[in-house]
Amino acid sequence: MSAAADATGATPLLAASALSKLFGGVVALDKLDLQVLPNQILGLIGPNGSGKTTFFNVVTGIYPLTEGRVVFDGADITNLTAQAVYRAGISRTFQRSRLSLALSIFDNIMIGNHKRLNQGLWFNLARRDAFRRQFEESFAEARALVQVFDAPLADRMFEAVGGFPMIDRRRIEICRALISRPKLLLLDEPSAGMTHEETTELMDDILEVKDRFEDLTIVIIEHEMGVIERITERCVVLNFGQKICEGTYQEVARDRLVQEAYLGIE
C-alpha cells in the first residue's frame, strides 16, 4: 500500500478512522481508514455498492456511524448533524442531482449560502434596505461563481433550474456547494447522466475552480477512469466497504486487487 499520506508529511484535512456502517446485516463500510490531504483532489473509486456514497453520507451526517471516528480540520465531527458538518466547512453534491427544479438558479445557489446569510426574522421582514444590500452582494458573488463555469448561464440566474440540461444542473449544484466557501468539497459522481464531451467540459470547470479558490480540497466519486486519471492527485479504491488500494492513478491501476475487483480476475 502506498504511503502517500506519510510521504508528504502534511496533516490530513479529513481523517476517518475505523469507520463502520451497518444497514441491518449489510456491511456498507468495514473499518475504513481514509485520509484526505489538504488542497488535493482525491478520487474515490470502486465497484457499485462498495461504500463510496455511504462514506459521503456518514461524513456529512446523513447516516449515523455504527463505529469509528471522523476528524475534520482538527475537530471531531463524528456523528454531528448534517447542519453542523456544513457549518464546519464541508459541502457536497448528490449522485442523483438534488436541486429544487421549481426554483431559480439563484434560489438554488442561495440555499447553499445559508450560513453566510442573515436568517433573522426582523432582518428579513422589516429591514428591507439591509436585506437588499445583502441580496445584491450575494447576487454578484453567485453570478461571478457561475461565470467561472459557464458565462451564458450567468445571464439566466432567475430562470427555473428545471429548464436546463443535465450539465448545467451539475454546474449549478457544484456552485451551490461552493458558494459558502467550504474547505472540503465532496462530489458524488458529477459525470452521471452526461456525455463524454460534457464530462470533459465539467472537469475543466472543476479544475479551474480549484485553481481560483485558494484553500479547497476535493473528494470525487467517479466511475470514468479517464476523469480520475486526469484530475486526481491520489486515489482510494473501495471494495465491500474496505480500502483495497491507495496511491496515484497509475499505482492503483497496476494493482492486482483493483483489477480483480473491477474485472473479476481470479
Partner 1 sequence: MTAPRDHRSLAWAVAAALAVAVYVILLLHVESQIEIAILLAAGIAIVGVAARAGLLARLGQMLGERDGLLNALVVAGTLAVTAFFHADAFVLLLIATVIIYVIACLGLNLQFGYCGVLNFAGAAFFGIGCYTAAVMTAHTAVPHLLILIAGGAMAALIGSILILPVLRTYSHYSAVVTIAFGLLFKIFLEVNDALGGPQGLRVKGLNLLGWRFNDNIEIGGLELSFYVNYIVLGLVLLAITFTFVRRVERSWIGLNLDAVRLDETAASCFGLNITRWKITAFTLGNFVIGLAGALFAMMLGFIAPTNFTFGDSLILVSIVLLGGIGNPWGLLVATAILIVVPEKLQAIQEFRFLLFAAMVIVVLLFRPEGLLPRPLRTFIPGRQAK
Q: Which chain residues interact with partner 1 by CB under 8 A?
A: 60-62, 81-83, 85-87, 91-92, 94, 98-100, 102-104, 107, 110-112, 114-115, 117-119, 121, 124-125, 128, 131-132, 135, 155, 157-160, 176, 180
Q: How far is the CB of 100 from partner 1 (least distance, A)?
A: 4
**Residue 139 or 262: which CB sits closer to partner 1?**
139
Q: At what angle do helices 128-149 and 166-178 cross, to 10 degrees?
A: 130
In angstroms, how far is the first alpha carbon of the chain from the final one?
20
- In 3D space, the residue among 164, 252, 261, 207 whose CA is nearest the CA of residue 40 turns out to be 207
**Residue 1 or 111: which CB sits closer to partner 1?**
111
Q: How far is the CB of 88 from partner 1 (least distance, A)?
A: 10
**Residue 10 or 111: which CB sits closer to partner 1?**
111
Q: How far is the CB of 159 from partner 1 (least distance, A)?
A: 8
- In 3D space, the residue among 143, 169, 141 whose CA is nearest the CA of residue 156 turns out to be 143
**Residue 68 or 89: which CB sits closer to partner 1?**
89
CB atoms within 10 A of CB 104: 18
Q: How far is the CB of 60 from partner 1 (least distance, A)?
A: 6
Q: Which residues, listed in sequence order, are joined to residue 219 by a DSSP beta bridge?
A: 42, 186
Residues 6+ apart with CB under 8 A from 204: none
**Residue 86 or 249: which CB sits closer to partner 1?**
86
Report DSSP letters for 32-64, one per residue.
EEEEE-TT-EEEEE-STTSSHHHHHHHHTTSS-
Q: How far is the CB of 248 from partner 1 (least distance, A)?
A: 30
Which amino acid appears at position 222 of this protein? E
